[in-house]
Amino acid sequence: MSNVSETLGAVREKTNAALAAVHGDSGASPVLAAVVQEFANKADKALRTSSDGREHDAVLELEQAGDSAKAAAEADQGAAGATREGVLDAHLAICMLKAELAGAISS
């Protein structure tokens, strides 16, 4: 398993934790739940895709879903702080992986 696959596994754990937080948060909006569900789905897809050499594309697609989840979490006034932080943590994890990949490409 490549380092990217391992890191994608960690990102998937964070997206799943964020999704669980959203589902457990009665104040979270249905929009936030849907966007975070899509983020988690993209994390699953990225992990599957990373094994066939399409890591870069998978990471970019996952980052876009993460950006949407981050924006939704920040806009959702009813979501608990812990829910928001969970989504932001998952978003940060994919951003860090993208930066790591960009650094590896430029070296």
In the chain, what are the domains? Answer: 3-106 (1.20.120)
| pLDDT for 1 | 42
Q: Given pLDDT bands bounded at 50, 70 and 90, which one contains residue 38? A: very high
Sign of the C-alpha dihedral, residues 56, 59, 65, 67? Answer: negative
Cα 26 from Cα 65, distance rounded (Å)? 23
| pLDDT for 57 | 85
| pLDDT for 58 | 86
Higher pLDDT, 18 or 101: 18
| pLDDT for 2 | 59
Q: What is the residue-averaged pLDDT of the chain?
A: 91
| pLDDT for 102 | 79
